[in-house]
């Protein structure tokens, strides 16, 4: 019966308790460190994150303003992700992935952080601001040719030189379209009038490229105004951004209805819509921007030296507690295991046991080791007894045969038929013992062959009873059969007759005259049950568990008059096991014994 281990003694509970203690210390230390070290860092991170987000949006908007497609944006996204420590993903409005800094298959954040549309934003003058304007980096057909840029740059250099001559410090900046702009040192446009000595400056006059694009823009704006019952007499022209924060080229309507706000607003709207339509083929499609973090982005803040010292100290303390608890638990667990190892390394003939000092899994292991040692000791004793029994079984007939042959050779007796019959009987005893040993060896090696075929149980019983009828009549014992129907089984008829024959022979040997040996067969569910019952002397209760052991006999003198070789019942057990069945014995001393064989049944063929 399996012993129940007390809950507090179970190895699992003890290990869980130790782990729980370590976990409590770790959680407490981690909580304290989180409060002390991360709160301030996270507050600083919020401002940094906002700045990084605006930078990312500005960079991607600039890319969209200068590229008609998103095909080559992946390197830029990887660079921005590495520099900001953020996960960056771009998708189409229907959530089709365009580019992503995270590993393939990583889920997107729940919502988009912004929409990248260079025709409806102003991320250059105010990074990250979502304004209803056009990114000035989207120049499209207004981009100057190399020759035009060179000519305007030469003019700008002359103007800057002229300003310097009169003590005005200026510098030259280049717009996204390639047009040079004269700026003051504070970044505002240089609006001071040029002295007459410098001559006339053509810097603000549109080039041929700009005139062509402005002509197309003017035509589109006029079509829009006609739909609002307005007209545009003056052409559109270039002028500098008057805000002073971004001295880049912008496209506005020249002095149109200055004194009427409503018409001017309509005209400006038409001009902006026409410009967006003109720039649309030169910019990337609208995309949704997703920002977040993943396991590939490193932490973006550094601990202060004081916080690092706290972390090192707490980690050291937790480590010390962990090592101490683990050492105590491990020592208690390893001690009995070392005892088991030492016992297992002893010579096998000593059959060393180990003391059972605990009631946990280790204690049960020690008990199992002791049980194994006892079984090994019993098997060794049985082996020695079996060798002695085999020698006894073979020595007796060999001694008889040798003795009679020697006296016959010496002429003491004549080799008459009676002597030869006796020698033949002794040879048959030897042959029977050897055949039984061969059957057992085949069963042990798994080479016992069965030739299965459909067999009727009642016919099998009749054949066995008929084979033993002569021996039964000679002993004055009645052999009868009982059949409950005619069950069928799939079995080797020769081996089944051998098994049932061994049981009947054993029953006849132990049943006195006027006794009865009954062979019965019946169906029990999916099984066929054979029983061999006798009215003999029976088997003592202490001997019943050993009846199927090899060479075991209740009568220890091993006389041929009181028993066989002790191999019949072991052969029965192996033959039935080879058929997928079981064999068992019951007995009451003075009443008789019953041997039951259960085998799988089969349907009627």
Mean pLDDT of 462-485: 89
Q: How far apart are CA 103 and CA 96, in angstroms?
A: 16
Q: Pull the structure tokens for residue 589.
A: 């001393």
Q: How far apart are CA 266 and CA 230, in angstroms?
A: 9
Angle, CA 15 vertex, CA 11 and CA 21 arms, to 5°: 150
What share of residues in the chain are helix, strand, coil (percent, to 5)? 50, 15, 35
pLDDT at 195 over 70: no
Task: Give 444 or 71, the one with higher predicted confidence.
Answer: 71
**Interval 357-404: pLDDT, tens:** 777 777 788 888 888 888 888 777 767 666 666 666 667 677 777 887
User: What is the predicted pLDDT for the residue at 602?
Assistant: 83
The radius of gyration computed from the CA coordinates of the chain, to the nearest angstrom, equals: 54
pLDDT at 454 over 80: yes
**Interval 332-345: pLDDT, tens:** 777 777 787 788 88
Give CB contacts under 8 A, 24+ apart, made by 374-382. 376/348, 376/351, 377/351, 382/549, 382/550
**Residue in the structure block whose two tokens are 């059972």:** 356
**Interval 507-562: pLDDT, tens:** 898 899 989 999 999 998 889 999 999 998 888 888 887 787 766 655 554 444 44
Give CB contacts under 8 A, 24+ apart, made by 128-134. 128/50, 128/53, 128/54, 128/55, 128/57, 128/58, 129/54, 134/272, 134/275, 134/276, 134/279
C-alpha distances (whole Å) from 600 to each of 88, 489, 498, 519, 575 are 69, 7, 18, 18, 13
What residues have CB less than 8 Å from 67, skipping those under 6 apart?
Answer: 73, 283, 284
According to DSSP, residue 37 is labeled I
C-alpha distances (whole Å) from 570 to each of 120, 248, 438 are 96, 107, 12
Please say whether the beta carbons of 460 and 500 come within 8 A.
yes
Task: Give 391 or 602, the one with higher predicted confidence.
Answer: 602
Q: Comparing 67-71, 91-95, 320-324, 493-497, which segment has the lowest mean pLDDT? A: 320-324
Of all residues in the chain, what percent carry a pLDDT higher than 90? 12
User: What is the predicted pLDDT for the residue at 436?
Assistant: 66
pLDDT at 261 over 70: no
What residues have CB less than 8 Å from 331, skipping those under 6 apart?
Answer: none
Q: How many CB atoms lie within 10 A of CB 291?
A: 19
User: What is the predicted pLDDT for the residue at 246?
Assistant: 37
**Interval 180-191: pLDDT, tens:** 888 888 877 777
Buried b (16+ CB within 10 A) or exposed e, 146-172: eebbeebeebbeebbebbeeeebebee
Q: Judging by DSSP bridges, how do beta strands 516-524 and 478-483 pair with one another?
A: parallel
Q: Please report the domains of the chain, with CATH numbers, ordered by start residue.
A: 1-124+291-338 (no CATH), 140-282 (no CATH), 449-602 (3.30.565.10)
Q: Comparing 106-115, 222-231, 515-524, which segment has the lowest mean pLDDT? A: 222-231
pLDDT at 63 over 50: yes
Task: Give 198 or 256, the one with higher predicted confidence.
Answer: 198
Q: Comparing 88-102, 264-278, 418-432, which segment has the lowest mean pLDDT? A: 418-432
User: What is the predicted pLDDT for the residue at 253?
Assistant: 36
Of all residues in the chain, what percent carry a pLDDT higher than 70? 76
User: What is the predicted pLDDT for the residue at 518?
Assistant: 93
User: What is the predicted pLDDT for the residue at 91?
Assistant: 92
Q: How many H-runs (helices) and E-runs (strands) does the chain carry?
A: 13, 15
Q: How far apart are CA 149 and CA 166, in angstroms?
A: 26
Nearest Cα to Cα of residue 472 among 531, 521, 499, 512:
512
Give CB contacts under 8 A, 24+ apart, made by 40-47. 41/301, 41/303, 44/301, 45/300, 45/301
pLDDT at 127 over 90: no
pLDDT at 230 over 80: no
H-only helix segments in 249-304: 261-279
pTM listed for this prediction = 0.42
pLDDT at 322 over 50: yes
């Amino acid at each position: 019966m399996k012993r129940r281990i007390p809950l507090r003694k179970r190895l699992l509970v003890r290990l869980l308790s130790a782990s729980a203690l370590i976990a409590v210390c770790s959680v407490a230390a981690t909580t304290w460190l989180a409060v002390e070290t991360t709160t301030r860092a996270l507050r600083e991170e919020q401002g940094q994150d906002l700045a990084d987000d605006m930078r990312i949006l500005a960079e991607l908007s600039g890319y969209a303003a200068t590229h008609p497609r998103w095909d080559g944006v992946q390197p830029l996204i990887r660079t921005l992700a590495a520099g900001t420590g953020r996960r960056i993903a771009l998708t189409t409005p229907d959530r089709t992935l365009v580019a992503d800094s995270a590993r393939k298959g990583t889920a997107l954040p729940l919502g988009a952080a912004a929409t990248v549309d260079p025709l409806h934003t102003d991320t250059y003058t105010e990074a990250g601001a979502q304004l209803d304007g056009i990114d000035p980096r989207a120049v499209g057909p207004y981009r100057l040719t190399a020759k035009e840029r060179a000519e305007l740059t030469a003019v700008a250099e002359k103007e800057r030189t002229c300003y310097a001559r009169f003590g005005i410090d200026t510098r030259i900046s280049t717009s996204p379209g390639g047009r040079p702009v004269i700026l003051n040192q504070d970044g505002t446009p240089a609006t001071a009038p040029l002295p007459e000595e410098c001559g006339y400056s053509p810097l603000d006059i549109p080039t041929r490229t700009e005139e062509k694009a402005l002509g197309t823009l003017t035509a589109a704006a006029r079509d829009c105004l006609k739909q609002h019952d307005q007209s545009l007499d003056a052409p559109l022209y270039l002028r500098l951004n008057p805000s002073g924060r971004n001295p880049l080229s912008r496209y506005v309507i020249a002095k149109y209805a200055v004194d009427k706000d409503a018409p001017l607003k309509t005209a400006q709207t038409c001009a902006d819509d026409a410009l967006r339509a003109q720039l649309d083929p030169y910019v990337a499609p609208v995309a949704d921007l997703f920002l977040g973090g993943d396991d590939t982005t490193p932490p973006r803040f550094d601990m202060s030296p004081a916080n690092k010292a706290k972390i090192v100290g707490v980690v050291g303390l937790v480590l010390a507690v962990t090592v101490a608890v683990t050492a105590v638990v491990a020592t208690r667990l390893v001690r009995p295991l070392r005892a088991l190892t030492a016992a297992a390394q002893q010579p096998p003939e000593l059959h060393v046991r180990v003391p059972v000092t605990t009631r946990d899994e280790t204690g049960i292991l020690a008990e199992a080791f002791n049980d194994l040692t006892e079984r090994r000791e019993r098997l060794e004793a049985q082996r020695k007894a079996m060798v002695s029994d085999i020698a006894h079984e073979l020595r007796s007939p060999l001694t008889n045969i040798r003795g009679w042959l020697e006296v016959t050779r010496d002429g003491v007796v004549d080799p008459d038929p009676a002597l030869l019959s006796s020698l033949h009987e002794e040879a048959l005893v030897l042959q029977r013992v050897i055949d039984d040993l061969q059957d057992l060896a085949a069963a042990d090696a798994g080479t016992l062959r069965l030739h299965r075929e459909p067999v009727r149980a009642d016919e099998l019983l009749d054949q066995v009873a008929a084979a033993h009828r002569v021996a039964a009549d000679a002993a004055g014992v009645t052999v009868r059969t009982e059949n409950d129907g005619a069950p069928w089984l799939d079995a080797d008829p020769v081996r089944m007759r051998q098994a049932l024959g061994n049981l009947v022979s054993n029953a006849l040997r132990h049943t006195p005259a006027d006794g009865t040996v009954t062979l019965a067969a019946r169906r029990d569910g999916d099984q066929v049950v054979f029983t061999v019952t006798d009215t003999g002397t029976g088997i003592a209760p202490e001997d019943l568990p050993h009846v199927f052991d090899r060479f075991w006999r209740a009568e220890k003198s091993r006389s041929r008059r009181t028993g066989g070789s002790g191999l019949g019942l072991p052969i029965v057990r192996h033959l039935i096991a080879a058929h997928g069945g079981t064999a068992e014995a019951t007995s009451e001393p003075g009443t008789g014994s019953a041997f039951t064989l259960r085998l799988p049944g089969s349907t009627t063929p």
